[in-house]
A and B are shown apart, each in its own frame.
Chain A
Amino acid sequence: MAAIKKLKAVKIEQNHLLGIQGLSFSQISQILDQAKEFIALNKSTSKKLDILRGKTQINLFFEPSTRTQSSFELAGKRLGADVMSMNIVNSAIKKGETLIDTAMTLNAMHPDIIVIRHQDSGAPNLLSQKVNCAVINAGDGRREHPTQALLDALTIINRKGKVEGLRIAICGDILHSRVARSNIYLMNMLGAEVNVVAPNTLLPHSIERLGVKVFTDMKKGLDNCDVVMMLRLQNERMQGSYLPSAREYYEFFGLTPDKLKVANKNAIIMHPGPMNRGVEIDTNLADDINKSVIREQVELGVAVRMACLKIFCKEN
């Protein structure tokens, strides 16, 4: 009981990164400033620091992930932490152990940081109530993916100098997207104007209440935008009741040079990956080095995650 009380006190100080909701503006600035310092480091020949030496980081990925998991792993290692990635497929969870029991087991090994991705919204929140270490959300259900939004912000700042005053369009499957939600919260906090563009069937209920303008027409939604963020459309949504076909989707919601004409001529194109070329984005646009910053997002992702690990681990 005593331990639980202590944990409650920790929670109020927000020593976990559960989502952009719950972060203060100063915390966000701190993360982004710290990440900028790591960008150069990641380009140098000697990338290793010892800031987290002696610390243990556990990656707990309940959903398959390539880029986020490897990005977190690299980030931890570059800071000198001991990183362990749990292979959920072979673990006790597949044998019916609950998330809380898994958390208690891992907690007994005294990790300093747990990075979790889970298919259920709110799973990192639940975990954070039960462990003594910092919890970082690497994506939960359709709720939040805070480090993705932070790396997107860093990429925009890197290219445009700032986020404030920009017009940002987020296009595609908003309904199922945690990336969209985290970006809506973050870009609003940083002073951007946010448009969302999607077919009605892929818009969540009351999305306008999150402070965005809603469009179902790409050319209206992209009008004079400085940033175009495309979202991945999962295969299973292409048929069935959400959309009639990939062909219809691409025609009206795929990003093509023609639709991009209405945006600001220096507009950048972003995508959290993995991409479906020819479904949500024209393949040449995706590779256009003058417009597409998709690879840069991946690069800066490591820096942002290093910053998050450092800040949330240190405070603990």
Chain B
Amino acid sequence: MKEKYLINARIIDPKNDIDEIGGLIIDSKGQIKACGKKVSNGNLPSSVDKIDIKKQVLIPGIVDMRVFVGEPGYEYKENFRTLSNAALSGGVTSVVSMPNTSPVIDNVSMVDFLKRRGRDKSRINIFPAATLTKNAEGKQMTEFGLLKRKGIIAFTDGIKTVQDPEVMSRIMNFASQSQSLIMQHAEDNILAKDGLINEGEISTRLGLKGIPFLAEKIIVERDLSFLEEYFCKYHISQISSEKTISVIKKAKNEGKTFTTGVSINNLSLNENDIGDFRTFLKLSPPLRTENDRQALVEAVNDGTIDVIVSDHKPQDEESKRLTFAQAATGASGVETLLPLALELFHNKKIKIKKLIASITTNPAKILGITKGNLDKGSDADICVIDVNKPWVVDKSKIKSKSKNTPIENRKLQGKVLKTFVKGELAYESI
């Protein structure tokens, strides 16, 4: 591979606190050789590829901590190839794949399959997560040590929550010795039983059973109490309510160490968007009030929330063309994560460097991977964006196998122009 010079770019690398006009050199092994204003336009050797970025923004490839792939078991919803295409068009170069497949990822033999399929069929980096408990049943813990050694990056029951406090406390106790990353989807099953949307005026009007904010808060409070005793690496997958933010702030003030994520859906939409039973907005955690949404945005801005995820959950149309109660939960979103996040920048709610950090540097740091930065020697996973380009979300142009976008026809500003993975141009907008 020839050396590549990406020149004349606005480089934003939150890890190294860089926001400057400059260039980036990719060496013949696909790694970053140099980056920043010192890489200038002049005197380039003729033997290299020169790519003029034309003052557009260049950031590290996005790291998405919560993505559902259909393999194995739900290939008709999404496979590694379609996921890879979708992710690349959204500037996402690394994903953590959720273990809620069929069968679930709860033993070492499944890991080889995932790694092989991920390598052969996709161009992005797949970091597989395994379940916390066998068959995600919340009873018996999985082999954290062995799975981690095989290449499992994090442990989560994905769409499920470990309900039994005894099991959870033991998981946190046991995982602390291998420093395995525990990611909890926080929702109390009993309080949220049969719940469909946020509990409030909208649920009363639509006659849908509500999910109270307490269902989330109570699990976060419980787990943070365990964290006083068992110092494991603990991450709350996504939160949805203002009340949970208060709990997190308080715990952080007390000196507890843990991290928190939020879905881009909860930052960009609220319960009113459900309108006349729009099943594409049936999500978990549910969309909550506008107050909650604003509080979440502010929490990203002030650093209470560390990570923004797409919570990409492809669902085939058939499973959404049902009554609200019967319809499947989740929304496709890996390709619109960045443009939706940029909305928060354009609305002057979150500074761009903070925003980029929440989808690159911060998740990489939590996961302990050398991604999400433009360090010398890192793989050249890079995303080039026109932050101002206006466009409209068109369902027919979605690359994911499932088209269940919750933001159809939304006017967005900001589009990915180029995505590089390990120095190779893997996607280019036409």
Q: Nearest Cβ distance between residue A87 and chain B, in whole angstroms?
A: 20
Contact check, A210 vs B322: say whether CB atoms are below 8 A apart: no
Determine which residue in A122, A144, A178, A210 has the highest number of CB atoms from chain B within 10 A of its CB, and name it: A122
Contact check, B326 vs A121: say whether CB atoms are below 8 A apart: no
Contact check, A143 vs B323: say whether CB atoms are below 8 A apart: no
Contact check, B324 vs A122: say whether CB atoms are below 8 A apart: yes
The interface bits of chain A over 92-121 (1 if a CB of B lies within 8 angstroms of the residue's CB, else 0) are 000000111000000000000000001111
Contact check, A205 vs B324: say whether CB atoms are below 8 A apart: no
Contact check, A144 vs B323: say whether CB atoms are below 8 A apart: no
Contact check, B277 vs A205: say whether CB atoms are below 8 A apart: no
Q: Which residues of A contact B205 (CB under 8 A)?
A: 21, 143, 181, 210
Contact check, B204 vs A121: say whether CB atoms are below 8 A apart: no
Contact check, A206 vs B207: say whether CB atoms are below 8 A apart: no
Contact check, B208 vs A98: say whether CB atoms are below 8 A apart: no
Size class of the B contact interface (CB-based, 8 Å): 20 to 34
Q: Which residues of B contact A181 (CB under 8 A)?
A: 204-205, 207
Query: How many A-B pairs with Cβ below 8 Å?
Result: 67
Rounded to whole angstroms, the CA-CA distance of A123 and B323 in the bound complex is: 6
Within 8 A of B (CB), among A8-23: 21
Within 8 A of A (CB), among B194-211: 199-201, 203-210
Tell me whether A122 and B277 are in contact in the complex, defined as CB-CB below 8 angstroms, given that A100-B321, A141-B325, A143-B206 are known contacts: yes
Contact check, A206 vs B201: say whether CB atoms are below 8 A apart: yes
Rounded to whole angstroms, the CA-CA distance of A259 and B277 in the bound complex is: 40
Tell me whether A140 and B207 are in contact in the complex, defined as CB-CB below 8 angstroms, given that A99-B322, A120-B324 are known contacts: yes
Q: Which residues of B contact A310 (CB under 8 A)?
A: none
Tell me whether A141 and B207 are in contact in the complex, defined as CB-CB below 8 angstroms, given that A99-B323, A125-B277, A126-B323 are known contacts: yes
Q: Which residues of A contact B277 (CB under 8 A)?
A: 121-122, 125-126
Q: Which residues of B contact A140 (CB under 8 A)?
A: 207
Tell me whether A120 and B326 are in contact in the complex, defined as CB-CB below 8 angstroms, given that A205-B199, A209-B201 are known contacts: yes
Contact check, B207 vs A205: say whether CB atoms are below 8 A apart: no
Q: Which residues of B contact A120 (CB under 8 A)?
A: 323-326
Interface presence of A64 (CB below 8 A): no
Interface presence of B166 (CB below 8 A): no
At the interface, is chain B mostly helix, strand, loop or mixed? Answer: loop
A-B contacts, 9 listed (Cβ < 8 Å): A100-B321, A120-B325, A121-B208, A122-B324, A123-B323, A141-B208, A205-B204, A205-B210, A206-B204
Contact check, A122 vs B201: say whether CB atoms are below 8 A apart: no
Interface presence of B276 (CB below 8 A): yes
Instruction: Output the nearest chain A residue to B278 by Cβ-Cβ distance.
Output: A122
Within 8 A of A (CB), among B203-227: 203-210, 212
Q: Which residues of B contact A206 (CB under 8 A)?
A: 200-201, 204
Q: Nearest Cβ distance between residue A235 and chain B, in whole angstroms?
A: 18
Contact check, B323 vs A118: say whether CB atoms are below 8 A apart: yes
Tell me whether A210 and B326 are in contact in the complex, defined as CB-CB below 8 angstroms, given that A122-B277, A205-B210 are known contacts: no
Rounded to whole angstroms, the CA-CA distance of A121 and B276 in the bound complex is: 11
Interface presence of A244 (CB below 8 A): no
Rounded to whole angstroms, the CA-CA distance of A121 and B212 in the bound complex is: 19
Tell me whether A205 and B325 are in contact in the complex, defined as CB-CB below 8 angstroms, given that A125-B277, A126-B277 are known contacts: no
Determine which residue in A98, A120, A142, A210 has the highest number of CB atoms from chain B within 10 A of its CB, and name it: A120
Q: Nearest Cβ distance between residue A29 and chain B, in whole angstroms?
A: 24
Q: Which residues of A contact B207 (CB under 8 A)?
A: 121-122, 140-144, 178, 181
Residues of A within 8 A of B (CB): 21, 98-100, 118-123, 125-126, 140-144, 178, 181, 204-207, 209-210
Q: Which residues of B contact A21 (CB under 8 A)?
A: 205
Q: Which residues of B contact A118 (CB under 8 A)?
A: 323
Instruction: Output the nearest chain B residue to A128 by Cβ-Cβ distance.
Output: B276
Rounded to whole angstroms, the CA-CA distance of A98 and B326 in the bound complex is: 10
Instruction: Output the nearest chain B residue to A11 by Cβ-Cβ distance.
Output: B276
Rounded to whole angstroms, the CA-CA distance of A209 and B202 in the bound complex is: 10
Q: Which residues of A contact B326 (CB under 8 A)?
A: 120
The interface bits of chain B over 301-342 (1 if a CB of A lies within 8 angstroms of the residue's CB, else 0) are 000000000000000001001111110000000000000000
Q: Nearest Cβ distance between residue A162 and chain B, in whole angstroms?
A: 27
Contact check, B324 vs A210: say whether CB atoms are below 8 A apart: no
Q: Nearest Cβ distance between residue B209 and chain A, in whole angstroms?
A: 8
Q: Nearest Cβ distance between residue A291 and chain B, in whole angstroms?
A: 30
Q: Which residues of A contact B199 (CB under 8 A)?
A: 205
Q: Which residues of B contact A100 (CB under 8 A)?
A: 321-322
Contact check, B325 vs A125: say whether CB atoms are below 8 A apart: no
**The 5 A-B residue pairs with the shortest CB-CB distance in the complex, in nearest-first order:** A143-B207, A121-B207, A122-B277, A120-B323, A206-B201
Given contact pairs A205-B212, A209-B201, a sample of 19 additional A-B residue pairs in the complex whose CB atoms are under 8 Å apart: A21-B205, A99-B323, A118-B323, A121-B208, A121-B325, A122-B207, A122-B324, A125-B276, A141-B207, A141-B208, A143-B207, A143-B208, A181-B204, A181-B207, A204-B203, A204-B204, A205-B200, A206-B201, A206-B204
Q: Which residues of B contact A204 (CB under 8 A)?
A: 203-204
Rounded to whole angstroms, the CA-CA distance of A210 and B322 in the bound complex is: 27
Q: Nearest Cβ distance between residue B114 and chain A, in whole angstroms?
A: 32
Rounded to whole angstroms, the CA-CA distance of A210 and B10 in the bound complex is: 52
